Amino acid sequence: MRTSGRTRAGQYAALFAYLVFLAFPFLWLVSTAFKPPRELGSLHPAWLPQDPTLDNFRQAFDEQPLLRAAANSLVAALGAAVIAVLIATPMAYVMARHRTRLAKAATGWVVVSQAFPFVLVIIPLFLVLKNLRLIDSVGGLVMVYVVWALPFALWMLVGYVRAVPAELEEAAAVDGAGRVRTLVSITAPLLAPGIVATGLFAFISAWNEFFFALVLLKSPEKQTLPVVLTHFLGAEGVADLGPLAAAAFLATVPSLVVFALIQKRLTGGMFAGAVKN
């Protein structure tokens, strides 16, 4: 079926509009980060700062320990991503290849667990972690993030495992490959993009998480970036807008870098599932 020129133009227009819609908040954030206070209070704000300044960045770094907070966030997010993937991958394989009642129940539980609000679990969780002496510990926070990310990671990975044709593993077995060899040489490479995507999901959800970090970490030197960002906010939503925008812009950079680094892997992952049976 051929697409007419008008339809194609419409599609491009829709795509462009969608990209603009997605990019607008980020571009506005960047613009705000470089605006002096007087431009922030302008009735007709300009897209580009008229008198760009780095003062907001200086002030943000001067007022809050952003680098230390970013390092804490990085440790928590990387730790959560790696551990969640290490745990979820073999579990997902079992659930995808062996469709038992337990696997179905686990899938149901995964769906239900995503509906739990944070406030419902935070107090019992706090008590358990306190007794394990894991309050005010980045390790404890990683543990929580892993538990929190695991259901969805599992759900994602099950889909990826199912996209790898079982016939390939059977063929490898017929050729004499053992179970481990099959998994390492045949399944794992095909699953790699899925694992990367899942790790990315776990990383970003932990990187952006605020409430658990706020409640579980007491020492100022252990606070993560989202918690430190709220220090630019006053009561009733009043904000120190310039430094807040500068700090928030810096907080998005690691996610962007991670995306940029693994973009090809992710794209590969999309096509990896498109194997003909």
Partner 1 sequence: MRARWPAVVAVGLLLVAGSGCSDGGNGSQDGRITLRFQSLAWQKESVDVNRELVREWNAAHPDIEVEYVQGSWDSVHDQLLTSFEGGEAPDIIHDASDDLADFAYGGYLADLSGLLSDRLTSDIPERSWETTTFGDGVYGVPFLQEPRVLIANAEWLERSGVRIPTPEKPWSWSEFRTVTDELGGGGDGKGDGDGDGKYGVAWPLKEPVSATLNLSLSAGGRLFHRGDDGKVRIRFDEGDAVVPRTIHDQVDTDGSAPRSTLGSGGSDTLPGFFGGKYAMVPLGFSYRQQIVQQAPKGFEWRVLPAPAGADGLVQGVSPQTLSVAADSPHQEEAAAFIDFLLRPRNMVRLALGDWMLPTGTAALRAPALRGEADGWATGVALAGRLRSAPAQSVRGYPEWKDKVATPALQEYYSGAIGLGELRRRLVTDGNLVLNRYQR
Note every long-range contact of 238-241, with CB atoms under 8 Å and residues 24 or more positions apart, other chains counting: 240/59, 241/32, 241/40
- 3-state secondary structure at position 103: helix
Task: Indicate which single residue of 25, 117, 176, 237 sits in contact with partner 1 (rule: CB under 8 A).
Answer: 237
230: contact with partner 1 by CB under 8 A: yes
Give Cβ neighbours of residue 80 (< 8 Å, ≥ 6 apart).
142, 145, 146, 149, 202, 203, 205, 206
80: contact with partner 1 by CB under 8 A: no
20: contact with partner 1 by CB under 8 A: no
Q: Are 225 and 245 in contact (CB under 8 A)?
A: no
Question: How far is CA 142 from each of CA 67, 102, 112, 117, rounded to the nearest angstrom?
Answer: 19, 27, 22, 19
232: contact with partner 1 by CB under 8 A: yes
> Which amino acid, one-letter code, is at 261?
L
146: contact with partner 1 by CB under 8 A: no
Residues 170-229 that bind partner 1 (CB under 8 A): 210-211, 214-215, 218-220, 227
137: contact with partner 1 by CB under 8 A: no
C-alpha to C-alpha distance for 212 and 143, rounded to whole angstroms? 11
Q: Are 161 and 230 in contact (CB under 8 A)?
A: no
Question: How far is CA 241 from each of CA 35, 44, 59, 70, rounded to the nearest angstrom?
Answer: 10, 17, 11, 20
Residues 111-130 that bind partner 1 (CB under 8 A): 119, 122-124, 126-128, 130
52: contact with partner 1 by CB under 8 A: no
Task: Indicate which single residue of 3, 42, 100, 267 sits in contact with partner 1 (rule: CB under 8 A).
Answer: 42
Name the minimum Å distance from CB 128 to partner 1. Answer: 5
Our CB check for partner 1 shows the closer of 24 and 109 to be 109
Of 17-25, 162-170, 192-200, 239-247, the segment contacting partner 1 by CB under 8 A is 239-247
Task: Indicate which single residue of 44, 51, 271, 274 sits in contact with partner 1 (rule: CB under 8 A).
Answer: 44
Name the minimum Å distance from CB 67 to partner 1. Answer: 16
Task: Indicate which single residue of 112, 132, 171, 275 sits in contact with partner 1 (rule: CB under 8 A).
Answer: 132
Two structure tokens written together for 19: 């990209």
Task: Indicate which single residue of 3, 8, 12, 37 sits in contact with partner 1 (rule: CB under 8 A).
Answer: 37
Task: Indicate which single residue of 49, 55, 59, 255 sits in contact with partner 1 (rule: CB under 8 A).
Answer: 59
Residue with tokens 């009733």: 236
Start-to-end Cα distance in the chain: 24
Q: Are 59 and 245 in contact (CB under 8 A)?
A: no
Number of residues that bind partner 1 (CB under 8 A): 43
> Binding residues for partner 1, per CB under 8 A?
37-38, 40-45, 59, 62-63, 119, 122-124, 126-128, 130-133, 135, 210-211, 214-215, 218-220, 227, 230-241
